[in-house]
Amino acid sequence: MSLALFSLLGVALDAWFGEPRRWHPLVGFGNLAQRIEQRLNSGGYGWRSHGVTGWCMAVLPPVLLVGLLSLSESLGWLVQIAALYFAIGLKSLGQHALPVAQALRLGDLAEARKRVGYMVSRRTAELDSSGVARAGTESVLENGSDAVFAALFWFAVAGAPGVVLYRLSNTLDAMWGYRNERFERFGWAAAKIDDALNYIPARLVALTYALLGNTRLALRCWRQQAPLWDSPNAGPVMAAGAGALAVSLGGAAVYHGELHERPVLGEGAPAQARDIERALNLVNGGVLVWLVVLLMGSVCLA
């Protein structure tokens, strides 16, 4: 029962306070990871073994420390709640997504491009309003899985150590998991570990999106379109999400100066401002469903 209650409290803290603006643990972790990478991958010459070593150096000590602290009779409950609170990013997702939709509604394309640029790694300066809406909707669906649902999943499975392991691994993937000359070898381990940790959560998220939206279309898009996507976990999430919303996503996009011809996801009209908000509602509704399931499961087990 305690993990379910801790989950509820962690999500409630995030809804109330959002991400800390100062002294966020992930900022310090990012600085540490950067120093490790500079030492072990100087000039981009690090091998896969160096990447494994770097991952272990960055992730395992904090996970072990949190695991030990969570066993404390006096502080364990606080460590559990704080770990989930710092790992989850539900309110932040809305704080980034809603200004994009608002700018599009007001016809301020320049502001919408700037705002969506905070959410995605693609080039946004040349996007039209539909392109901005598409990028924002995709980001909400994918980041909802990475920054919210996967954190809840690993917290439910392994408590504070599990959610810290996941969040730090996901952060390293965002920093090291690029397929370019510098990180092709060194970042291999970070990318593969993140893929493994997200495999089950991503499919549960895809199922959640499908159940809360156009279920038949979402399941069909998941089955037919997800295998065409280059990411094994983003594919199911975004295909099912696009189908659930009955909207067209995907298509060509420019990343780091290179044009990527991505498959079309979903089915229906091109994305609009309201679809960003609908995607956010899908994530919020899914979180509520997950919390109810966790509480009911805990009651049954008790």
Joined tokens for residue 83: 């770990």
240 burial level (CB within 10 Å; 0-12, 13-18, 19+): buried
pTM given for the model: 0.94
pLDDT at 212 (0 to 100): 97
Number of domains in the chain: 1
pLDDT at 1: 54
Question: Which residues, including other chains, have CB under 8 Å from residue 199's CB and lie 6 or more apart?
Answer: 232, 233
* Long-range Cβ pairs for the range 56-65 (8 Å, 24+): 58/29, 58/32, 58/33, 58/168, 58/172, 59/165, 59/168, 59/169, 59/172, 62/29, 62/164, 62/168, 63/161, 63/164, 63/165, 63/168, 64/161
pLDDT at 24: 85
Residue 101: both structure tokens together: 């939709």
CA–CA separation, 160 vs 84, rounded Å? 7
Task: Classify residue 281 as exposed, middle or buried by CB count within 10 Å of its CB (0-12, 13-18, 19+).
Answer: middle
- Paired with 14 in beta bridges are none
What is the CB neighbour count within 10 angstroms for residue 216?
Answer: 9
Mean pLDDT by 10 residues, the chain (302 residues): 88 93 87 95 88 97 97 93 96 96 96 94 87 96 96 96 98 92 93 97 98 97 95 96 96 73 91 97 98 90 74
Q: Residue 128 CB: number of other CB atoms within 10 A?
A: 12
Beta carbons of 181 and 44 less than 8 angstroms apart: yes
- CA angle, residues 8, 75, 2, in degrees to nearest 5: 35
Full domain range(s) for residue 245 = 2-301
Sequence-distant (≥ 6) Cβ neighbours of residue 255 within 8 angstroms: 121, 122, 123
| Strand bridging mode 247-250 / 264-266 | antiparallel
